[in-house]
Chain A
Amino acid sequence: MGGAALIEIRGVRKSFAGQARALDGVSLTVRENEFFTLLGPSGCGKTTLLRIVAGFERPDSGEVLLAGKDICPLPPNLRPVNTVFQNYALFPHLTVLENVAFGLEMRGAKREDAKTQARQMLETTMLGEFGARLPSQLSGGQQQRVALARALACKPRVLLLDEPLSALDLKLRRTMRAELKRVQRETQITFIFVTHDQEEALAMSDRVAVMNEGRVRQIGEPAEIYDAPGDRFVAGFIGETNFLPGEITGCENGFLRVLLGGGATVAVAAGNGEKSGAVTVAIRPERAALHSPADTAANAENIVTGEVRDIVYLGGTTRYDVVLPDGAALSVSESNESGGGNYAARFARGEKVCASLPRDSLRALER
């Protein structure tokens, strides 16, 4: 994914009257043909950022470049950018066909030509039979597809999607996820996709920008965001993470030595630049492994001991909630290998266990 930069957002700030900053200096670059996702909790400014790119809001400061040109002074109708709105925003007084033809017509196509093109668009999105219906006569999933067809009909340089799947039920959401991804590959249009669903973001994106409180916390490919979270917020927001408080005591062969609260010292891959002092050591539940205290001798590095507090059977995996000597909680999830209805947990509640924490899976993050 080494495409040229298509959209460059530089130091964009925006505040609304009587409120804290909605956007507090956002800078990011979206590349050509990229499926780029803005991920963050509710109210972090995702919609505001999209509205600035679409032209519905003007930033207080900063600039938005499209193919190297500042588009901030342009009204929305002069930007080669289209939006799929969160609630679809289909025109209720126009038929599906007229909805899809709207943009083409406004751009100057003759009414008949616009209709013909729109009809083709509907055929390719398997909506051909719905052309004469009003939006209110469609199901949520169909409305969603019409909104997508309408936005794509004008072949924009960039397509903005504001939580387009959030109103659909889980099953339909999975289907639409695959469909969106396919459409993006086939049309080669740059997508900027907004979601607060981390699974969606990981599954669909080429790159993800994680936002919080009007700032970008980290930008990277899904695996990078998941495996090498840059800070505690990102680690906690995406997937499940154990946070173990500790103290850096030294550095050895490129690994930090961290003294955990429980007294064990572990080696930790360098993390995000912390060199000394109090840190939080983060590890994903599936990266840790449990052993009974008897068979740990072979692998004496990066071991912590604790007691199983709870066992949760989750079908494909089992989660063991372990309490470490200092009271810190460590969840470890193991995949359940054998099926056949003869499942038995490897450990019992209250049993003493050892957990090995592979040093490459540990991250030392600012507390």
Chain B
Amino acid sequence: MNSRHAKSDARLVRAYLAGDPKAFRKLYQRYERPLFAFLLRLVRERESAEDLFQQTWMKVISGLKNYEERGTFSSWLFGIAYHGCVDHARKASRNVKDDLKSGQGLDCLPGDASGPEEQMIQREKLQWLYRAIDQLPSEQREVLLMRLNGEIPFREIAEIMQCPLNTVLGRMHYAVQSLKRMIPHESWEEKSHVLS
């Protein structure tokens, strides 16, 4: 669904390169929250997430001139962020998954929920979900977050992670299966209507 932004992203990139700093700001605003949430969930530590966030944008700024509109901007952006995380984990020569406490970065607040009650429900849900996501094996977590935060199409996730589409879909499905086991059923079963 991220394709809904793809054209306007490309327009903003061109406007920025033509000398309009406001275009860049719009691009930044569009991806600030999803990208940061993605990084925070992957490295689960605020300081590293902020470092990686800044690094990612610096690479974007210096790479934009050579950026051919081959894929979508969002895939490119999340791809850079993802590879940054991989490097980060390697440099730290440890598995981030084992090293960091689950549930870190939970100081986050739910965004634009309407009333205080709704806000509390959303906050609770968010905490459940984040705790559960933190328990996932890293490849599953990466796919899930790229999809949910970045809305990157699976075919592009497969390219970023350099593995077959079917593997990516398998990881996504296993992630969902595990999360469903970890999250209380009533928090999502009832009110969700997607197809029925």
A and B pair up = no
